[in-house]
């Protein structure tokens, strides 16, 4: 009996040790060592050498992952360091406070584990980025961009260009006070099957799960402006979202400062949050509901639709909304000066106009390879532009004789409401003369 008790204690201690929360902050000290050297010289070659030797080469796996996730390069850092000296001086002291949050983060991870006993360990890295992310994940790593996540209302922002306005607004919310909550949100992402999903609804539910369960675990309400605004304007948000529900693009709903009728960014967080809240409130077994949220296969359309339908957030089944969405998508109605699939196109033609069924958003477009690949790609030399009414776009091409050409007008083309077109294959063959 004594041996059994000793073994049990050993197993419990071993389990506790293996689940101990590891928080790594080494990148912060390395960054500032490099920063001091970089700002002491105007020699660009020397600046890059200091950055690589003192920061990137010494970087933790978290830094490497953050650079990969956000496409940071050495130039990204050098440009940021040289471009915003007042900002960096104002944020420096805050970044060294990262270790202060370790105890609270660990305590809230433990709370999360009580809600979801299947929680797997993840390592948290406080690193430094170049303004593209305050927090993200990769595999079993939480990656915190300390230059954003540890900002506050005193962070100097006067050097930032206009396209950083969202960052200005974010710093005014004192994100350093929310860093524990941010870590729990990102920690939940490390438990999900994937963070790479294939439609707007899936992405919003994925984010909503992380936000809603971070609230449940920490006991703190979400301070995201989108949540409070969404609760006050739910009916219209739900209506507009339903019209874009299976879009392959995030549009203005997530990670974007794009203009929209609500004047609020990231409303997709609210939609996902509201779905999860409704699902949880209706569930008889709350712990099972949490398990189902985290373990949901967001890319399985049937499973996703069932989850959302069970929440009761929409008045119609998801598949009915998808049918309506597909019916209302804009389409390409034709091309000029010849018809699509023509086999007698003159190689002297230099301009092609694509016509649409609806007024298009003039800021978004994309073209893709056709089925025949690069060898038959219609190369677009220059975009002439959209017509004034937004219902056509003209571009310049260069054609060779006796050549078959293809290009796909892709889903990057969207109507004025953000709904993407149905992809359209342009396919034609030129004559010998």
Residue 21 has a pLDDT of 61
Indicate the pTM of the whole model: 0.83
Residue 120 has a pLDDT of 95
Q: Which two tokens stand for residue 30?
A: 């390395």
List, for residues 100-138, the tens digit of each pLDDT value: 999 999 999 999 999 999 999 999 999 999 999 999 999
Residue 308 has a pLDDT of 98
CA distances from 203 to 27, 105, 226, 297 (A): 30, 25, 15, 11
Residue 165 has a pLDDT of 85
Residue 163 has a pLDDT of 84
Residue 417 has a pLDDT of 84
Residue 26 has a pLDDT of 96
Residue 2 has a pLDDT of 38
List, for residues 153-162, the tens digit of each pLDDT value: 999 999 999 8
Q: What is the pLDDT along the chain (433 residues), one digit of tens a residue?
A: 334 444 333 343 433 433 456 899 999 999 999 999 999 999 999 999 999 999 999 999 999 999 999 999 999 999 999 999 999 999 999 999 999 999 999 999 999 999 999 999 999 999 999 999 999 999 999 999 999 999 999 999 999 998 888 888 889 889 999 999 999 999 999 999 988 898 999 999 999 999 999 999 999 999 889 999 999 999 999 999 999 999 988 989 998 888 899 999 999 999 999 999 999 999 999 999 999 999 999 999 999 999 999 999 999 999 999 999 999 999 999 999 999 999 999 999 999 999 999 999 998 899 999 999 999 999 999 999 999 999 999 999 999 999 999 999 999 999 988 899 999 999 999 998 7
List, for residues 322-339, the tens digit of each pLDDT value: 999 999 999 999 999 999
């Amino acid at each position: 009996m004594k041996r059994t008790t000793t073994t049990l204690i050993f197993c419990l201690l071993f389990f506790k040790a293996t689940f101990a929360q590891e928080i790594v902050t080494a990148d912060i000290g390395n960054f500032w060592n490099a920063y001091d050297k970089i700002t002491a010289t105007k020699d660009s070659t020397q600046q890059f050498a200091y950055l690589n030797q003192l920061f990137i080469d010494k970087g933790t796996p978290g830094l490497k992952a953050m650079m990969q996730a956000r496409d940071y390069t050495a130039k990204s850092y050098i440009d940021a360091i040289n471009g915003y000296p007042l900002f960096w001086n104002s944020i420096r002291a805050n970044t060294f406070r990262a270790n202060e949050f370790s105890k609270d983060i660990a305590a809230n991870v433990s709370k999360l584990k009580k809600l979801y006993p299947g929680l797997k360990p993840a390592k948290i890295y406080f690193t430094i980025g170049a303004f593209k992310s305050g927090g993200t994940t990769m595999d079993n790593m939480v990656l915190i961009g300390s230059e954003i996540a540890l900002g506050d209302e005193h962070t100097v922002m006067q050097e930032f260009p206009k396209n950083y306005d969202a960052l200005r607004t974010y710093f005014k919310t004192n994100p350093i006070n929310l860093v524990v909550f941010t870590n729990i949100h990102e920690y939940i992402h490390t438990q999900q099957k994937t963070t790479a999903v294939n439609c707007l609804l899936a992405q919003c539910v994925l984010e909503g799960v992380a936000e809603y369960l971070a609230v449940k675990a920490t006991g703190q309400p979400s301070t995201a402006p989108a949540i409070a605004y969404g609760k006050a304007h739910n009916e219209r948000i739900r209506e507009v979202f339903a019209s874009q529900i299976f879009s392959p693009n995030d549009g203005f709903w997530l990670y974007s400062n794009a203009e929209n009728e609500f004047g609020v960014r990231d409303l997709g967080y609210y939609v996902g949050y509201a779905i999860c809240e409704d699902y949880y409130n209706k569930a008889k077994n709350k712990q099972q509901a949490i398990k189902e949220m985290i373990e949901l296969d967001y890319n399985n359309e049937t499973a996703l639709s069932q989850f959302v339908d069970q929440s009761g957030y929409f008045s119609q089944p998801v598949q009915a909304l998808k049918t309506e969405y597909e019916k209302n998508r804009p389409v390409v109605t034709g091309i000029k000066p010849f018809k699509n699939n023509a086999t007698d196109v003159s190689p002297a033609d230099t301009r092609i106009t694509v016509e649409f069924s609806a007024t298009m958003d003039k800021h978004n477009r994309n073209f893709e390879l056709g089925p025949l690949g690069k060898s038959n790609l219609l190369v677009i030399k220059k975009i002439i532009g959209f017509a004034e009414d937004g219902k056509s776009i003209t571009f310049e091409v260069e054609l060779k004789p006796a050549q078959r050409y293809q290009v796909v007008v892709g889903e990057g083309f969207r109507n004025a409401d953000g709904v993407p077109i149905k992809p359209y294959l342009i396919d034609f063959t030129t004559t010998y003369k």
